[in-house]
Structures are given as C-alpha cells and as structure tokens.
Amino acid sequence: MLIRLHRARQRLAEIEEPSPPLSLIAQDASLSLGHFIRRFTAVFGETPHQFRTRIRLERAKELLALSEDSVTDICMSVGFSSLGSFSWLFSRHFGEPPSDCRQRLYPSIALPGHGQSHITPGCMSLMVGAWARSQFSRSTSVKDQLG
C-alpha cells in the first residue's frame, strides 16, 4: 500500500493542467476516495489537497524568484484559477504576498542578461578564489622554472 501511496503522491506533485481529480488518483491507487484521503494523511501528515496546494505554492515561489512572468501568469501556470485565492493562500503559507516575495527575491539573484547583482552567491566566490589561486601558483611555478 505504501508504494501505491507514494506513486499517488508523485502524481499529485506533478503540475499539469487539467489536474487529475483526487477520485482518479485514488482509483489508480486501488483505494476508495475516503480511504485514500485517510491513508494519505496518516502516512504523509497532510491531506492530498493540502499536499497539492503546498507543491503549487512552492513552485510559484520559485517562478517568482526566477522569471519575469507576471504574478497572474505564474498563478495560472501552477494550476490556480483565481488570483485572489492564490494571493491569499500564498500570503498565508509564506507570510507575505506574492508581489512582496518577488521584490525581495528577484533582485538578489544574478540572471544572465539581467544586469549585475548586488549579491554574489558564496559558491561563486569560492570558485573564483580557487581559480585565482590555481592561476597564481601556475604562474609562479613557471617563473621559478625559468629562472
């Protein structure tokens, strides 16, 4: 039964339109809808609907940070049909409206062709530092060998 529930969870995590109804996902898991909801909640700690909504909200947050699409376009692309409901759920889940989240996240990420960022990710600093050290050690060892 756990394997069927895991497969159902994977299917719920897919953001596709139109979303398959829970009754179809329950049927694919060989469970009645009520039993599916109870078992899913017992195993994963949230209802299938709560899980699907959370996954969509998390995907929307990623898109707000990484794309220039409008909040409305993002809302629709992750499977919500009402901007008002989406904004309310987003605010409730993340503690801020989607537009505020975008203002906070979007400028802090350097995207190719989108100007210079004022924040450099730490991994990039480490990589540049390692490259510079390797260039320095290579140039000094050549000088030492030449003379």
Band (145; pLDDT cuts 50, 70, 90): low
Give me the DSSP letters along 29-68. Answer: TTS-HHHHHHHHHHHHSS-HHHHHHHHHHHHHHHHHHH--
C-alpha span between 69 and 63 (Å, rounded): 8
- Report d(CA 98, CA 59) in Å as an integer: 12
Q: What is the pLDDT of residues 100-121, one digit of tens each?
A: 999 888 765 555 665 544 445 5
CA nearest neighbour of 9 among 74, 39, 77, 18: 39
What pLDDT digit, counting tens, does each position of 26-66 carry? 999 999 999 999 999 999 999 999 999 999 999 999 999 99
133: pLDDT strictly greater than 90:
no
Amino acid symbol at 140: T
pLDDT on residue 107: 61
Residue 56 CA to residue 50 CA, distance in Å, equals 10
What pTM does this model have? Answer: 0.69
Whether pLDDT at 142 is above 70: no
61-71 pLDDT, tens digit per residue, is 999 999 889 99
